[in-house]
Amino acid sequence: MTALGQRMLGAVLVVAFASLYVWHGGKAALFLSIVAALMLASALIIHFFGPRNINIRRQMQAKRVVAGEITRVSVELKFDCPIPLLWVILCENTPAGVHRKLLFPGTRRQFTYQYELSGLRRGVYRWESGRLYWGDVFGWNTVSAETVNRTALIVVPQAAEWDENDHGEYSAMGEDALSERRSSQGNRSPEFREYQQGDPLGRVHWKSTAKTGKLQTFLPETSDSVSLGILMYEGASGYEVRQSEKRDTSAFERAVRVAARWIHTAERDNIPYQLWTEGGGSGSAQQEKWKQELLNSPEIHALDKLAQARIATSQVVSPSLRTEMLDRMALGSRIMILTGKMDDTLVEWVMCAIGLGYRVEVQLTDQTIRDMDNESLEQLRQSGVQIHWITDGSLPSMRKAEVTDVGA
């Protein structure tokens, strides 16, 4: 029942019992009319002198958490109220469900408590508007007010772990190659080789020449400009998507996790990298405005873009998959393609990137096509493209999202 309905019912009861007392008399009728009048007065006082200027502030360990991890949220509640309150209930619409907290204010006007969120899948979330309830001792008269503090939370994907079988297959050209660069960057001493015809004399290292007795030259310092490009393909033609499936397929989720692993590896090894989620369009035009503003903020991280990655709703690939994205990449840089399977658009893009002078590698996550060997893959192999399959078929099991109170 609404607050207005409660007050109308109280007024009807007061009039009824007062009329009964006037007409019939008696102590019982007088007692009931007094009780009804007190209830109506209590409802009016609770309504007109209830909490005002309600302020909620939430604090988390980080605005970016990994999918499946437990996140602790600290909530601080402040409000103004001229009368003592017996109880209040704060209901918050958290990303993991509704959390209710019962408090006994009395004359206190500031509270702090905590709860934990668990089981969240990757994505961009925020707290929707909630409500603060208060009332009399028996709960006969309750009033509520809306609370608004739409805190944002980004849940990034878990980074895939290289399977033992996969490690031998492509680790040598994967993490180990990046680790070698990290070692070379950590040790700033230049590398040398024997002089070759055409080397400029300005690169001759005379100390090494004197030690070895052979003319030694510095290696060209091009490694610092070479970077890593990660293309997370979102085109629907790159994955086997059934019309009945509402969620992203396991092949797509596996590709997202592998992309997260490459990002972690590049950051660990101090390798400049770029992440592209072009190719299929993730439906960002239909996303809420606040998500677009959050994901386009200057402090956005590459993992935050992966949190919102989605397979394109249309089978038609967006024309945004162009080579303009390579303009900021140095020639000779390494491009990593992550997709379930290769389609004509990707094959064409890869061939164009190779022609521009980039090293392209493809990692396929759809295990159903592992034994397939079509003309497109053979064409890419002959062009020097390394193609590998991610054979890790186990995705982490995600339990149901829950919110748990951990006390004050």
Which sequence spans correspond to the domains of the chain? 3-46, 52-158+401-406, 165-188+223-389, 191-222
pLDDT along the chain (408 residues), means of 10: 68 79 80 81 85 93 86 94 93 94 93 93 91 86 88 88 47 46 45 64 72 72 65 84 61 90 88 77 52 67 87 58 75 89 86 87 79 72 86 67 82
pLDDT tens per residue, range 236-266: 888 876 654 545 678 888 899 999 999 998 8
Q: Tokens for 170?
A: 């492509």
Query: For residue 150, what are the CA distances in angstroms to 99, 129, 158, 301, 323?
Result: 15, 7, 25, 21, 38
Secondary structure letter of residue 196 according to DSSP: -
Please tell me the predicted confidence (pLDDT) of residue 117: 93
Tokens of 373: 């060997």
Reported as a single tens digit per residue, the pLDDT across 161-201 is 755 444 433 343 455 454 444 444 444 445 666 776 555 56
Nearest to 261 by CA among 359, 175, 360, 173: 175
- Collapsed DSSP state (helix, strand, coil) of residue 129: strand
Same fold? 52-158+401-406, 165-188+223-389: no
Count other Cβ atoms within 10 Å, centred on residue 239: 24
Q: What is the pLDDT of residue 219?
A: 56
CB 353 within 8 A of CB 326: yes
C-alpha span between 278 and 230 (Å, rounded): 11
Alpha helices by DSSP H, listed for 101-174, are 164-170
Between CA 365 and CA 293 the distance in angstroms is 31
DSSP codes joined into one string, 248-291: PPHHHHHHHHHHHHHHHHHHHTT--EEEE--SS--SGGGS-HHH
Instruction: Report how far residue 248's alpha carbon sits from residue 158's, in angstroms, rounded to the nearest whole number.
Output: 15
Distance from chain centroid for Cα 79? 32
Q: Residue 226 in 3-state DSSP?
A: coil
Q: 52-158+401-406: what fold?
A: Immunoglobulin-like (2.60.40)
pLDDT > 90: percent of the chain: 25
State whether residue 164 is helix, strand or coil. Answer: helix
- Residue-level pLDDT at 399: 76
- 134 with 51: CB under 8 angstroms? yes
Nearest to 252 by CA among 347, 174, 364: 364
At residue 96, φ and ψ (nearest 5 deg) are -105, 5
How far is it, in rounded angstroms, from Cα 344 to Cα 376?
Answer: 8
pLDDT tens by residue, 7-29? 677 777 778 877 877 887 788 88
The pLDDT, as a whole number, for residue 395 is 64
Give CA 237 to chain center in angstroms.
24
Confidence (pLDDT) at 118: 92
**pLDDT of res. 168:** 36
Instruction: Report the alpha-carbon distance of residue 57 to residue 38 in Å, rounded.
Output: 36
Q: Are 126 and 84 in contact (CB under 8 A)?
A: no
Fold of 165-188+223-389: Rossmann fold (3.40.50)
Phi and psi at residue 296, to the nearest 5°: -105, 10
pLDDT of residue 93: 94
